[in-house]
Amino acid sequence: YKKHSVYGLHYPPNKNIYQNSCPLIISIHGGPTSISKRGYSIEREYWRAKGLGVLEIDYRGSIGYGIKYRDSLYGYWGIKDVEDVIIFANHMIKEGLYNKNKIILRGSSSAGLTILNTLIKTNIFACAASYYGVADLEKLYADTHKFESGYLESLIGYDFNTKEGKDVFKKRSPLSYCDKIKSPIIFFQGLKDKVVPPSQTKTIVNALNKNNIYNEFYEFKNEGHGFRKKETIISSLNLEFEFYKKILSLKSID
């Protein structure tokens, strides 16, 4: 990789409660031209209380680091964000603060595409969690409204209504290469989602099932894009943690 800066916020676990050092969650924000949440986060503190470290990465394209950094993702979504996640993960492994065999990816919405494309590129991640995530760019373009479709084209760097554009949209879609995904994934989806339709998650789940890749898929019929109900948020976090315990064989010290 050409040398460049990548930013992130590291939150160590509240206490070390696991044998063989603790797991690390690399959290990827949505947007994708947005930023990791500053200030208090219930989700972040949930994981820290469970003994997991959290790294919230602000890959190229994130806001808050200057226009050049933000604009560098335009035309390269699904490429530069993936590169930065892998770079940061390898850095954290090199630092030796966490168990290198227990690195987790999690995120929502546009982060779903980043997560899946990262798992296609490398096998250093033990598992992942995707909330109402993007998996098929061609289908997303067809299903989304006009404003979002224009934003999508700027992120990919091509007009979808050209042969070359359609080829690039397909090439950047995780669905096209999901046979390379080997890590288990847990999915959560609101059935009233109008931004990233449920078909996005269902399509990738079906593809993973055909490839015999372990996954779990939970639907919430009264949720849209971004879970709002307290019971949904609590339930999904608990299901996610149980998934991690199973996949990572987490065993507490006491």
Establish if 90 belongs to a structural domain: yes
- 124 pLDDT above the threshold of 90: yes
pLDDT for 197-243, tens place per residue? 999 999 999 999 999 999 999 999 999 998 989 999 999 999 999 99
What tokens were used for 157?
């760097």
Residue 225 lies in a domain: yes
| 164 within domain boundaries | yes
Q: Does residue 91 fall inside a structural domain? A: yes
> Is 146 a residue whose pLDDT tops 90?
no
| Domain span holding position 86 | 7-248
pLDDT above 80 (res 129): yes
If pLDDT is split at 50, 70 and 90, which confidence band does 125 have? very high
Determine the pLDDT at residue 1.
Answer: 53
At 209 the pLDDT is 98
CB 236 within 8 Å of CB 206? no
| 100-112 average pLDDT score | 96
How is 55-73 classified by DSSP, letter by letter? Answer: EEEE-TT-SSS-HHHHHTT
Q: Where are the beta strands (DSSP E) in 31-180?
A: 53-58, 103-108, 127-131
Phi/psi-derived region of residue 64, left when phi > 0, alpha when psi is between -120 and 50, beta in every other case: left
The 10s digit of each residue's pLDDT in 4-24 is 899 999 999 988 776 567 899
Residue 145: the pLDDT is: 63
Does 239 map to a domain?
yes
**pLDDT tier, 149 (very low <50, low <70, confident <90, very high otherwise):** confident
CATH code where residue 65 lies: 3.40.50.1820
User: Residue 239 carries which side chain, given as an amino acid letter?
Assistant: L
Give pTM, 2 decimals: 0.93
When divided into structural domains, the chain yields a total of 1
